[in-house]
Structure 1
């Protein structure tokens, strides 16, 4: 589309999470560092929350890439499952043959044997759950039973929960207080600031093969930052549409008028009238 017009080798603002495009913005870099430190300390539950589009899934994939070097991981991207099905999914992810297991108790027993074997091999086991706010309450409680799997000296399974802010509301229920008390590390991903949005766009363009003067004019950057609220996914949408608008007019730089056109065309963006009112 506009790639050749701007001297790019690939589309820079795809919405599919791609770890090649990760920018170590303060909030995201701090979250990744916290996760790695907490897992090194063999803590039980770790929680990461953030609004839709703040980069939770990308951070999740980065973490899995890091853990693949040192740990045995189980990844559950869609956890809207009953407890026994979750146990089965975790067991299969960790290499447990559950064909001979007729109920949840037998799956837990087989899983425990596998975790003990991994511990003897000095291979930590980590369960990573994305979209954790989608789990039924009974399944969240079932997770607590997984953290009961331990020896006298070490916890056999660590669990990392990634979820939207609704996860905090769910975990605040009195019925889940035992699990809540086991969350030893937690962090919340923050939107990008104005300066970080500029760095983010330049970083993605460079990753896509661009090497030249700034494509986005300062006024266009400001519009994208304000209208997106610093949410990376929405930044991507607005940047993509802004470049389309510039390309359509044969322009080599994205100006404020192109960004405003993108905002007008994006339902989830803050309207121009909103940020004009607030300066």
Structure 2
């Protein structure tokens, strides 16, 4: 592998959401701030959406790590459940003992009892749901009913929904309009721009042990932005493959050609061809470099 070749001690572009590699970019920091403020103020429903690969699961894990006491968290990574299945999953996450063949109403009562006890102890319970766009309508309505229990001063259960843009479409359904009206805070994650891509890539390389800041030239960053459209997951995939290509050629830097080969080997980017204008910039720089070399060689020969 290319670790030693580039002076790395671990793979910098793994697809696994690793909070050690969290990059404090504006869009992710703003989303995390929205979450913290909304939860601290006791809001019932909070929603974070973003296109596939924009870092929602990593942000979800950051929230789980950063929420201080007295918050108690329950995390559902796969919410494609029936209403009864949702109650059982929540009970399990909260450590509530339940019978697998108990009536749904009994499980719901146990959850309510737990929430009341947590409130008496000064704790705040937060249910965090990833991939929320996969929830059936009936389950979403059941989720709303879970938040009906409240005291005069606070909600006994706060819910954070992470989902793809399809979640917004799902919430437009009239049958769950009451849930939609309860979402008081929301944020949409945005793709990265050129400057943010450079910061993101260099950050991950630095965490992985690389001490050089010029591993990717500016032209390579532009190519990376063109192919990935600023989606972090695609950035990880293409940069990892470009590192492999450069390593295979024995080269120490990542050029736009390496990224082009990586893009041709990736389904989501294979159809994107660099515009001629981009390639002409490279050729112009190459010709300029050659001209300068010839000029200075002739000057020194005099």
Which residue is equivalent to 2:9? 9
Shift of 1:245: 0.8
* Alpha-carbon contact 1:226-1:270 (below 8 Å) kept: no
* Alpha-carbon contact 1:125-1:156 (below 8 Å) kept: yes
Which residue is equivalent to 1:148? 148
Shift of 1:273: 2.5
**Where do 4+ consecutive residues of structure 1 move more than 6 Å?**
none
Q: Deviations over 1:105-155 (max 9, x none)?
A: 111111111101111111100000000000111000100101101122211
1:268 lines up with 2:276 in the alignment: no
- Counterparts of 2:42 and 2:275, CA distance in 1: 45
- Counterparts of 1:153 and 1:135, CA distance in 2: 30
Change (3 A) 1:270 1:37: farther
Change (3 A) 1:100 1:55: closer
Secondary structure of the equivalent of 1:187? strand
The 10-residue stretch of structure 1 (129-138 or 98-107) with the greater mean CA deviation from structure 2 = 98-107
Which residue is equivalent to 1:158? 158
Shift of 1:250: 0.3
Change (3 A) 1:66 1:275: farther
* Alpha-carbon contact 1:226-1:275 (below 8 Å) kept: no
TM-score calculated relative to the size of structure 2? 0.89
Which residue is equivalent to 1:30? 30
Which residue is equivalent to 2:108? 108
Which residue is equivalent to 2:72? 72
Q: Deviations over 1:4-36 (max 9, x none)?
A: 000000100000000010111111110000000
Which residue is equivalent to 2:256? 256
Q: Deviations over 1:163-205 (max 9, x none)?
A: 0000000100111100000000001000001100000000000
Secondary structure of the equivalent of 2:102? coil
Which residue is equivalent to 2:201? 201
Which residue is equivalent to 2:236? 236
- Counterparts of 2:185 and 2:2, CA distance in 1: 43
Which residue is equivalent to 2:120? 120
Report the count of equivalent residues: 279
1:96 lines up with 2:96 in the alignment: yes
Which residue is equivalent to 2:288? none
- Counterparts of 1:278 and 1:223, CA distance in 2: 8
Shift of 1:272: 4.4
Q: Deviations over 1:228-268 (max 9, x none)?
A: 00000000011011111111100001111111111111120
* Alpha-carbon contact 1:246-1:254 (below 8 Å) kept: yes
Question: Which protein shows a greater Rg?
Answer: 2
Change (3 A) 1:262 1:116: same
* Alpha-carbon contact 1:48-1:161 (below 8 Å) kept: yes
Describe how 1:50-89 pairs up with structure 2 within 5 A. 50-67=50-67, 69-89=69-89
- Counterparts of 2:83 and 2:278, CA distance in 1: 48
The 10-residue stretch of structure 1 (255-264 or 197-206) with the greater mean CA deviation from structure 2 = 255-264
1:227 lines up with 2:230 in the alignment: no
Change (3 A) 1:214 1:169: same
Q: What value does the CA root-mean-square deviation take over the aligned residues?
A: 1.6
Secondary structure of the equivalent of 1:169? helix
